[in-house]
């Protein structure tokens, strides 16, 4: 590849075997490696072989460039390349990049087909079968398919594509994605068999804590369209319709959460006509996200026989996926496989910590169970691709050959974008544990956990999105999920707690769910996640498509702050004080959530929600609500500025200042103390810039005092833990930040690792000293701490005001406590401008920093002694003494 040409061409679209776009795909490229920028470009495009040029475009933009030609039609093949210009000189041409447009909604002639079902539960997966006769001179074939349910497509007995759990999780009332595949090599002249294996999936299967079924509909359906082009240019099209049949197959039970049962001895059921157009579905579109795939294989770390003849398999890593089992035993052998995150003191699998509980009601046992019955045929492998589990351990009902079992790690195939390593192995391990936790919660949508709930909680992703955007390219993944957030938004502007919303609160009356919808820190995801996509990737489309939903959410929150008051303030003053118009305290908030639990006299943990639900529900959480109201209103003003809405930008900027003053009046005293007096309240106040400049130092000292009083332990929960260490370091207390980071007794991150964590826990005390587990052992939100390792320990962060990493800062924050200090760190970030590499080392009282700056970026390198260097693309090295 030429150093003098643009590279890494891409479009804002997903796809399996090849990128698949809608009508107007945005184009992006990286600049030649030595170029600081561009002032223009030329494009060459071939659409269905017809070449077109777009020349002499005057623009510095090279990320998310608008489609320059008329909208694409269905099934068009496109290749394109770019040449950039700067100051009168032109680069070499880039390599060609190819993609296709999908089968667009108006051109679907296939009918929706549904199986003839027998009723009952558990439900099987059904085989939908059809066929087509073809000529022998096949030049190209594309198969387009989708489903209400989860499906696999087969051509002449061969599975199509590499995507898993298609078509993925969406708010099916409004959005449904299709998949495209090149099946040219699978077809032959003469008769060809087409099959779809269809199960409930997210559409109709158990969802959430209570395994709610039929959330989006009671009838599954599939739609398939095959386009075959012959050598002479003529075509044959085969579609699903009334001539297809349905039957039961070997997958006799399939639920995405509970598990799958396959009976290889089961005889094919009788073929019956399909039901045609028995469902109502939204228009078909094409996902911007990469597909879910089997991304890794993990062999067992150990296989241990248990007293009842079962065996416990430890894969050494908590992850999402399933097991592939090749040792199925003789014909008729049934193997039951239970999956979980934890072992009890006797070494047996336990999932009791994941049981679902409502106050005053018996627990609902948590189950992830697959079963298989062997036919005895050689080469038979059980791989349950119509379910997915969160697990480290598996309990098999019989002994198996360890060589015949493997974990298949399954999640969205995100492109890794960051590396990190340093001289402290514990921190390296923490980085990997947090990364695995996100991987396990990235199965098509960002979930809270891969086990008990497996829901796209807005608060979780709002917290973790900045960390996710450092670790992986999550632009398309996030935009896909945000479409569900918009789909689920209520008419009054509230954003639901999790999306896709299996409660269907937008169309169903659920009083209890309605009463806990619209929380600060959760609904704010509709503002804060798109802003993160813009700042990280330069993706203005993420702002534009979410702008109406952002405004509706913020306007609802502002109106609620004005019209509703917490009872404690009504008691204080019958008439609201002037500033209370902007205090958001009168509606439901989750609050900080999951701060370290206090202990009862007997040493047991006290759950503030379960022990007194009503007191927790009614507690004043206005500090959290008002802080997030300020943050979202201020961010909305920034969004308006980027989108060119000058009037809105000015109005929201002024409103944000009024919210900030209200927060200061209500929740901060003249000594810089917060009214609630918690670590979380200080972290939030400092991170969100709520504290006046002349009080910031005092507020930071109050925070440090609380940490000291807790013996060097953190006291933050869900919302503010990610900001704790950056706030400490940026306010002049890096020693305290590293003290908290290195803490090993509970609550702490390294304490989790010392107790065997391979993913981040939901509770700080997820595993007690006696080995008892509590709540989920794979919740990524507290793992957001590892962003500190990138932004402060490594020292790489984007410069203020920059978007798309056009400008960045390298300023390592060293631990002043020398006997524990890190002596070197190295890392990379493959950002939208190219790869940034940072390497620093402390030797002989000097700090050496080396930085690789990609084309399109500029860097400022700052040493602890205050020395600052500015540089453009290329390699920078410098050595300075440490004061």
The secondary structure of 430-495, three-state, reads: HHHHHHHHHHHCEECEECCCCCCCCCCEHHHHHHHHHHHHHHECCHHHHHHHHHHHHHHCCCCCCC
For the question of whether the overall pTM of this predicted structure is more than 0.95, the answer is yes
CA angle 160, 166, 171 (to 5 degrees): 155
- Evaluate whether 716 touches 683 at the Cβ level (below 8 Å): yes
Start-end of H helices in 492-572? 511-515, 525-537, 540-563, 567-572
Check whether residue 252 and residue 202 sit in a common domain: yes
Query: From CA 456, how far away is CA 445, in angstroms rounded?
Result: 6
Residue 477 lies in a domain: yes
Write the CATH number for 860.
2.60.420.10
DSSP string, 597-615: PEE-TTSPEE-HHHH-HHH
Inside any domain, residue 802:
no
Q: Quick one: pLDDT at residue 865? A: 92
- Supply 355's token pair: 């049981």
Domain termination site, one of 349, 381, 412? 412
- Measure the CA–CA gap between 860 and 850, rounded to whole angstroms: 12
* CATH, residue 148: 2.60.120.260
Task: State the distance between the two ends of the chain, measured CA to CA, in whole angstroms.
Answer: 44
548 in a structural domain:
yes
Answer yes or no: do 466 and 521 share one domain. yes
| CB-count exposure of residue 455 (10 Å: 0-12, 13-18, 19+) | buried
* Strand locations in 306-345 (E): 311-325, 334-340, 342-343
Mark whether 823 and 761 lie in a shared domain.
Answer: no
Q: How far apart are CA 760 and CA 460, in angstroms?
A: 13
Domains held by the chain: number: 5
Residue 1 pLDDT = 55
Total residues found in the chain within this entry = 883
Cite the DSSP H helix spans in 644-677.
646-667
Which tens digit of pLDDT belongs to each residue from 396-436? 999 999 999 999 999 999 999 999 999 999 999 999 999 99
Asked if residue 1 is part of any domain, the answer here is: no
Q: Which tokens in the block code for residue 315? A: 């894969």
The CA distance from 205 to 388, in Å, is: 12
In this structure, what token pair is assigned to residue 150? 């989860």
Sign of the dihedral defined by the CA atoms of residues 560, 562, 563, 566, in that order = positive
Tell me the CATH number at 42.
2.60.40.10
Is the domain of 84 the same as that of 149?
no
**CA 321 to CA 312: how far, in whole Å?**
17
* One domain for residues 447 and 388: no
Task: Judge whether 528 and 546 are in contact, CB under 8 Å.
Answer: no
Catalytic annotation, residues: 453, 762
Count CB-CB contacts under 10 A for residue 81: 18
> Does 799 map to a domain?
no
Q: What is the mean pLDDT of the chain?
A: 97
β-pairing, 245-248 vs 272-273, is antiparallel
Q: Prior bond to 167 cis, omega within 30?
A: yes
* 738 & 821 share domain: no
644 and 776 in a common domain: yes
CATH assignment at residue 614: 1.50.10.10
Using DSSP's 3-state secondary structure scheme, residue 4 falls into coil
Question: Is the domain of 740 the same as that of 822?
Answer: no
Q: Are residues 109 and 235 in the same domain?
A: yes
Name 852's bridge partners: 837, 875
Which two tokens mark 26?
Answer: 């945005």
Q: Is 517 helix (H, G, I), strand (E, B) or coil?
A: coil
Is residue 605 in some structural domain?
yes
Final residue of a domain: which of 101, 122, 148?
101
Beta bridge partners of 138: 230
| Whole-angstrom Cα Rg for the chain | 28
Spans of the chain, pLDDT less than 50? none
Are 238 and 156 in contact, with CB atoms under 8 Å apart? no
The pLDDT value recorded for residue 471 is 98
**166 to 107, 113, 341, 765, 871: CA distances (angstroms):** 21, 17, 26, 36, 46
Are both 97 and 178 inside the same structural domain? no
Cβ neighbourhood burial of 644 (10 Å; 0-12, 13-18, 19+): exposed
Distance CA 94, CA 414 (A): 24
d(CA 412, CA 168): 10
User: Is the bond preceding 488 in cis, omega lying within 30 degrees of 0?
Assistant: no
Residue 333, Cβ density class (10 Å: 0-12 exposed, 13-18 middle, ≥19 buried) = middle
Could you tell me if 461 and 574 lie in one domain? yes
Report which of 222, 166, 157 is spatially closest to residue 186, judged by C-alpha positions. 157
468 near 446, Cβ under 8 Å? Answer: yes
Look up the domain containing 822 and give its range.
807-881
- State which of 412, 447, 479 marks the end of a domain: 412
* 308: Cβ contacts below 8 Å, ≥ 6 apart: none
CA–CA dist 825, 650 (Å, integer): 42
**Do the domain assignments include residue 779?**
yes
Residue 800 falls inside a structural domain? no
Pair 620, 741 in one domain: yes
The DSSP letter of residue 879 is E
């Amino acid at each position: 590849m030429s150093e003098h040409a643009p590279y890494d061409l891409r479009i804002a679209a997903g796809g399996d075997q090849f990128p698949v776009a809608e009508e107007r795909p945005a184009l992006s490229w990286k600049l030649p490696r030595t170029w600081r920028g561009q002032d223009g470009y030329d494009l060459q495009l071939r659409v269905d072989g017809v070449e077109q040029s777009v020349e002499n475009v005057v623009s510095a933009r090279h990320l998310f460039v608008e489609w320059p030609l008329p909208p694409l039609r269905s099934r068009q093949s496109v290749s394109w390349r770019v040449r950039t210009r700067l100051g009168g000189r032109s680069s070499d041409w880039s390599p060609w990049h190819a993609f296709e447009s999908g089968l667009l909604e108006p051109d679907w002639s296939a009918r929706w087909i549904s199986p003839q079902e027998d009723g009952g539960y558990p439900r099987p997966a059904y085989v939908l079968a059809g066929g087509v006769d073809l000529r022998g001179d096949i030049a190209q074939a594309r198969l387009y398919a989708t489903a209400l349910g989860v499906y696999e497509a087969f051509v002449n007995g061969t599975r199509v594509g590499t995507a898993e759990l298609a078509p993925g999780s969406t708010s099916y009332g409004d959005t449904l994605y299709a998949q495209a595949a090149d099946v040219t090599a699978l077809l032959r002249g003469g008769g060809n068999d087409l099959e779809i294996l269809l199960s409930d999936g997210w559409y109709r299967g158990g969802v959430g804590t209570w395994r709610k079924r039929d959330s989006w509909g009671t009838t599954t359906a599939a739609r398939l369209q095959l386009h075959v082009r012959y050598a002479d240019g003529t075509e044959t099209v085969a579609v699903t319709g009334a001539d297809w049949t349905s039957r039961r197959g070997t997958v006799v039970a399939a639920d995405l959460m509970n598990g799958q049962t396959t009976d290889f001895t089961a005889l094919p059921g009788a073929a019956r006509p399909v039901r045609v157009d028995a469902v109502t579905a939204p228009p078909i579109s094409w996902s911007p996200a990469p597909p879910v795939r089997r991304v890794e294989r993990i062999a067992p770390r150990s296989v241990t026989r248990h007293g009842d003849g079962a065996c416990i398999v430890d894969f050494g890593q908590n992850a999402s996926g399933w097991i592939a089992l090749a040792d199925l035993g003789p014909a008729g052998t049934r193997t039951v496989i239970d999956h979980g995150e934890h072992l009890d003191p006797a070494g047996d699998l336990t999932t009791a910590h994941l049981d679902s509980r409502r106050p005053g009601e018996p627990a609902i046992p948590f189950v992830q169970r697959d079963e298989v019955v062997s036919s005895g045929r050689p080469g038979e492998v059980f791989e349950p691709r119509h379910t997915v589990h969160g697990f480290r351990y598996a309990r098999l009902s019989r002994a198996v050959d360890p060589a015949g079992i493997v974990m298949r790690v399954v999640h969205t195939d995100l492109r890794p974008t960051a590396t990190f390593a340093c001289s402290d192995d514990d921190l390296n391990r923490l980085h990997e544990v947090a990364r695995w936790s996100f991987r396990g919660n990235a199965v098509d949508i960002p979930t809270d956990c891969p086990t008990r709930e497996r829901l796209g909680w807005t608060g979780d992703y709002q917290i973790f999105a900045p960390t996710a955007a450092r670790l992986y390219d999550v632009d398309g993944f996030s935009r896909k999920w945000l479409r569900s957030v918009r789909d689920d938004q209520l008419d009054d502007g509230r954003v639901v707690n999790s999306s896709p919303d299996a409660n269907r609160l937008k169309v169903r009356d659920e009083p209890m769910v309605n009463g806990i919808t619209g929380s600060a820190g959760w609904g704010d995801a509709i503002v804060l996640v798109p802003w993160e996509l813009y700042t990280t990737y330069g993706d203005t489309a993420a702002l534009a498509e979410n702008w109406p939903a952002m405004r509706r959410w913020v306007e609802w929150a502002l109106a609620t702050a004005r019209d509703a008051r917490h009872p404690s303030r009504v008691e204080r003053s019958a008439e609201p004080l002037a500033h209370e118009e902007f205090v958001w305290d009168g509606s439901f908030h989750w609050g900080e959530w999951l701060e370290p639990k206090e202990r009862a006299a007997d040493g047991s943990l006290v759950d503030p929600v379960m022990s007194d639900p009503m007191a927790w529900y009614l507690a004043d959480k206005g500090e959290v609500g008002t802080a997030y109201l300020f943050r979202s209103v201020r961010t909305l003003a920034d969004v308006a500025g980027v989108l060119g809405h000058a009037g809105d930008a000015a109005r929201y900027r002024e409103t944000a200042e009024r919210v900030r003053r209200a927060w200061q009046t209500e929740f901060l005293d003249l000594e810089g103390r917060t009214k609630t007096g918690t670590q979380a309240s200080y972290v939030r106040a400092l991170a969100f810039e709520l504290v006046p400049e002349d009080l910031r130092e005092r507020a930071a000292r109050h925070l440090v005092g609380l940490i000291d009083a807790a013996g060097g332990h953190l006291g933050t929960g869900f919302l503010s833990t990610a900001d704790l260490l950056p706030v400490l370091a940026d306010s002049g207390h890096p020693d305290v930040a590293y003290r908290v980071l290195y803490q090993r007794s509970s609550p702490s991150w390294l304490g989790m690792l010392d107790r065997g964590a391979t993913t981040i826990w939901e509770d700080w005390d997820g595993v007690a000293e006696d080995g008892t587990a509590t709540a989920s052992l794979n919740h990524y939100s507290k793992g957001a701490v590892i962003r500190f390792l990138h932004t402060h320990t490594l020292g790489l962060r984007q410069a203020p005001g920059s978007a798309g990493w056009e400008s960045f800062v390298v300023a390592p924050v060293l631990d002043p406590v020398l006997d524990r200090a890190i002596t070197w760190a190295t890392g990379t970030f493959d950002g939208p401008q190219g790869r940034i590499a940072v390497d620093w080392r402390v030797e002989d009282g000097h700090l050496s920093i080396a930085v690789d700056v990609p084309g399109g970026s500029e860097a400022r390198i700052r040493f602890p002694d205050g020395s600052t260097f500015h540089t453009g693309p290329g390699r920078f090295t410098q050595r300075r003494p440490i004061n």
